[in-house]
Structure 1
Amino acid sequence: MIIGMIISAVALGVVVALLPSKKKGRVRKTKVKSSSTKVQRPHSSTQNRSDQEILSSSLDSLSGAEFERLLALYFRDKGYEVKEVGIGGKDGGVDLVIIDQRGEKTAVQAKCYANHNTVGVQTVRELVGAKRNHDCILSLLVTTSDLTEPAKKEAEQFKVDYWHGALVEQKLKSWEKWQPTNKKKKAQAVKDTVQNEVQRSQAQVSATKEAICTCGSPMVTRKGREGKPFLGCSTFPKCRQTRSV
């Protein structure tokens, strides 16, 4: 009986000793799970741009979500009721549903691509299938680039209207509320002007250093009545020799 009590006491001590290690294991698993959840959170750096900023931005500077918002602004101003069903997320093939004054619905898919990145046939097929989910009769594919030849044939077969990049720009410009400011071109123009001025000044300095008047005196840069520079003798009015720059 004494031996049995000793064995029971030893077994109880072993069980108690094991309990803390199980607790630590559980805490460690919870921490790993929490860390994994934080890593998977999505983040977008362009979601806070205002409508006014989008209206003053060129198409090649817009994100996909911003291009969709630009189209939503365009269609609303044209008198359509606009439902933004896929702005900035998984759209299932449809970004906007536009409804005209007769109540006719059109499913719109927007693709903001670079010129070399054309829209493939799969996008057309997704739009054809997805428009039924929104009770739309018509469908419209709008892209800043163009469709591949197979995609165009697919669009014609299933009566999908599409706007390519040149047509999109034409419609937006005629709308007049979209007025992009091309900062790159302006900056390049300023840079070119500065470079031209520097080169002209350097040429004038170089010409002045090398120019010697027929009287043997150095020539200096002067300006005529019309503001045009010319080289004149430094001993003027004693010597009235001039030379064009």
Structure 2
Amino acid sequence: MARRRESFIDVLLVLPWWVSGALAVVSYLVLTYAAPAYFSLHPLSVGIGKGLSELTPLFCGLFIVLALGSFIRARFIARKFDQQRGLEDIRALPWRRFESIVGEAFRRRGYSAIENAVDGADGGVDLVLRKDGKKYFVQCKQWRKATVGVKPIRELFGVVSAQGAAGGIFVTSGVYTADASDFAATSGVELIDGPSLQEMIEESRSAEPYLEPTITNARATTTWSAGSAGPSCPRCGSSMVGRTAKRGANAGSRFWGCPKYPDCRGTKEIE
């Protein structure tokens, strides 16, 4: 069964920040104007409207704090997403952050993603995606080296069919059995295993070049002229350009980078 967030506050924290911001505005208008005007229609209820208006700072403040928390959380997830450097990093994530990272990967592919947005005992959904007016259900399983069988794939397909979603996507850090793959092929459920998820994350990371493989976590945004053509890119064969790392432990160091970045991420150290 999927894990659920139980409180209203938890739900707002995983929703986009503007949802809480909109609730702050609505609560202000309702408690400051609408409620007092409604209860003033009867002399006996005037005090109720006045009492509700006094709660305006409490409710508005709560929703503003939640909007800020949601914004900070989204930035934190985006940063963690860009820090993933391989399948072992993905498998080492706590299960809740694993779901968040998967959601971020889909957001960067143009989907809106809401975590744990479907309640119920069926336990078949961890993320709900929307794109082009269509809804997709995603189930995440962070099984480090385990093999996912056909049963959870069938469960997800059942929820997709019952809820009328456009499709289902199953994501794991492990691999799938042959039966699971066969059922997915006939049911239309998309399977993403560990290596595929790693590739998906690498393709969706922020468009800044990273030095590979020995100079890591150093970002570069400036180029310099070497006075002659650079070496050939080890990935695509293009003539490389000189770049300078501006951040990280190797800030200020120079390296060769592919001019076709981000389509090609080839790099080479300067000898």
Per the shorter chain, which TM-score range?
Answer: 0.3 to 0.5
Answer with 1 or 2: which has the greater Rg: 1
Taking structure 2 as the reference length, the TM-score comes to 0.43
Taking structure 1 as the reference length, the TM-score comes to 0.47
